[in-house]
């Protein structure tokens, strides 16, 4: 009889439902945060976009909210036309796919899927003026780096609201792992009162630094800053239990 496959569970918290499996683990989703479109005049939005050559998208949620706002004002065609003429960059593959899905736009991505890599990619390409479509409270690294050599403006497209009942949603949940997919989620994870002590896995180095500020040392940090990178992390951790050789892509911490 073949040995029974080890089963594991991983908690993901965020506004968007994750895949049902992440690597070898079954996912449990808790929607800790909600996102809401920032309402503004579409003429103001289009005027701002037209002032810049390069437009950045740093979240897969931005294209959806941008489309929602344009449709409210019957300006979706004008929005697409304005963006089509721009040098568009996405932070990673999920954001790139979201742009294609909601606005039908192609975009570039940096070699590494994080804001610091994106900023230096733009510098290397000689970009001089940049508009970043983001949310309030997004990490400051993008602005800190790009303003050293280029004009930089952030325009807030959506806002994030924490579910006031989030602590009740996670109370009593027993999982093997918690996957932390952003620094903001890391802040919430640090405040959770777990009845068990699940292992923490992090989507990337910036998220890991935030967790470490809270005294949390992730068991694994993804080298590929995507859900696929987290899946590789989980495969690596689970392989230690089964003796299988994991795929490369997860940086192992701890003992």
Convert the pLDDT of each residue in 202-251 to its tens digit: 999 989 999 999 999 999 999 888 888 999 999 999 988 866 555 555 55
Q: Where are the domains of the chain?
A: 8-32+163-252, 35-160
Chain segment 107-147, per-residue pLDDT in tens: 999 988 888 999 999 999 999 999 999 998 888 899 999 99
pLDDT value of position 225: 84
- CATH class of the 8-32+163-252 domain in this structure: alpha beta
Q: Tell the CATH topology of 35-160.
A: Rossmann fold (3.40.50)
Whether 35-160 and 8-32+163-252 are alike in CATH topology: the answer is yes
Indicate if the pLDDT at residue 254 is higher than 50: no
Q: CB under 8 Å to 197, separation ≥6 — which residues?
A: none
- Token look-up 């979201």 returns 98
pLDDT value of position 215: 94
Burial group, residue 193, by CB count within 10 angstroms (0-12, 13-18, 19+): exposed
Dist. CA 128–CA 152, nearest whole Å: 9
């Amino acid at each position: 009889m073949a040995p029974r496959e080890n089963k594991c569970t991983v908690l993901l918290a965020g506004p968007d439902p994750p895949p049902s499996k992440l690597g070898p683990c079954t996912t449990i989703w808790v929607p800790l945060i909600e996102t809401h479109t920032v309402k503004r005049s579409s003429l103001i939005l289009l005027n701002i976009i037209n002032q810049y050559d390069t437009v950045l998208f740093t979240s897969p949620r931005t294209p959806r909210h941008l489309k929602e706002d344009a449709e409210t004002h019957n300006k979706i065609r004008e929005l697409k036309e304005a963006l089509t003429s721009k040098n568009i960059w996405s932070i990673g593959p999920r954001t790139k796919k979201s742009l294609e899905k909601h606005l039908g736009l192609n975009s570039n991505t940096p070699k590494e899927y994080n804001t610091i890599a994106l900023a230096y990619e733009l510098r290397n390409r000689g970009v001089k003026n940049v508009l970043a479509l983001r949310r309030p409270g997004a990490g400051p690294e993008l602005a800190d780096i790009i303003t050293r050599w280029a004009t930089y403006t952030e325009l807030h497209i959506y806002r994030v609201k924490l579910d006031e009942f989030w602590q009740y949603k996670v109370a009593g949940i027993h999982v093997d792992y918690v996957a932390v997919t952003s620094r903001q989620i890391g802040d919430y994870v640090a405040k959770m009162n777990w009845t068990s002590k699940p292992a923490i896995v992090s989507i990337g180095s910036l998220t890991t630094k935030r967790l470490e500020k809270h005294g949390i040392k992730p068991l694994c940090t993804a080298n590929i800053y995507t859900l696929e990178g987290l899946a590789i992390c989980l495969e690596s951790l689970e392989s230690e239990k089964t003796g299988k050789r994991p795929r490369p892509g997860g940086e192992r911490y701890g003992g």
